[in-house]
């Protein structure tokens, strides 16, 4: 694997992983607002 693709792979993964908690918190806020957490 070339360095270019290696960097894309790792940076892409780190970026997506950084998005994940934000997505989860937004989803929880929406559920909470609609009173549908449980």
Nearest distance in Å: CB 35, other proteins: 9
Do 37 and 28 meet the contact criterion of CB atoms below 8 Å apart? yes
Q: Which is it for the CA torsion 24, 30, 31, 32, positive or negative?
A: positive
Residue 33 interacts with other proteins (CB under 8 A): yes or no: no
Number of chain positions touching other proteins (CB under 8 A): 27
3 lies in the binding site for other proteins (CB under 8 A)? yes
5 Cβ contact partners less than 8 Å away, ≥ 6 residues apart: none
Give the residues lining the site for other proteins (CB under 8 A): 1, 3, 6-7, 9-18, 20-21, 23-25, 27-28, 30-32, 36-38
């Amino acid at each position: 694997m070339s360095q270019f693709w290696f960097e894309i792979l790792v940076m892409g993964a780190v970026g997506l992983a950084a998005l994940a908690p934000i997505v989860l918190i937004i989803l929880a806020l929406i559920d909470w607002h609609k009173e549908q957490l449980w």
